[in-house]
A and B are shown apart, each in its own frame.
Chain A
Amino acid sequence: MARKESPLFLARAPYRRRRLRDASRLLPILGIFFLLLPLLWTEESRLSLSAGDVIYFFSVWIFLIGAAAAFAPGLRSGQGPTGDED
């Protein structure tokens, strides 16, 4: 399909913004890894309800929210029709 011409190299600020978007796209994968991790190390592949588990999952959760909040400003700015994908 036809693509709008876009510059080959970017200035520093847009470059950072794009890498932030990349990072935000990787976040769910990191999240899945951390949320499935306990299944690997727990005995008999069984999760139980111990205080440690509860604290672990909420820590992962808070970390994901914090990371998303850090990336969010990068998502907002530069939302032109071309400000997508790469």
Chain B
Amino acid sequence: MSQHVLLIEDEPNIAEAIRFILTRDGWTVSHVTDGSAALDRVRSDRPDLVILDHMLPGMSGLEILAALRADPETKALPVMMLTARGRDREMAERAGADCFMSKPFSNAEILAEVRSMMGR
């Protein structure tokens, strides 16, 4: 059974690219653009991995991450953070992101990271 990735990203083109890359590699990808809707989707979809953009409308990536870590059910859920600003790395790691990628990234890089996080 293919594993499930939830992508939380508001730039449609970037989301399209990531979805293409991961789907081609055999992952099931679902996508949400709005920060405030993201938490509900995590609870309903129960993904194996979350890819989370830093700047989101409604609720920032860091806030979502904090909320995920505060909930016992999603405490251990692997989260990869994406950001377009250099200085966000520390904040993301402090908030409990397992992995951090800065834009622009190479396709191979992101694929490798996802694979390693899921132990494939």
A and B touch in the complex (CB under 8 A): no
Q: Could you list which residues of chain B lie within 8 angstroms of chain A, going by C-beta atoms?
A: none
Q: Could you list which residues of chain A lie within 8 angstroms of chain B, going by C-beta atoms?
A: none
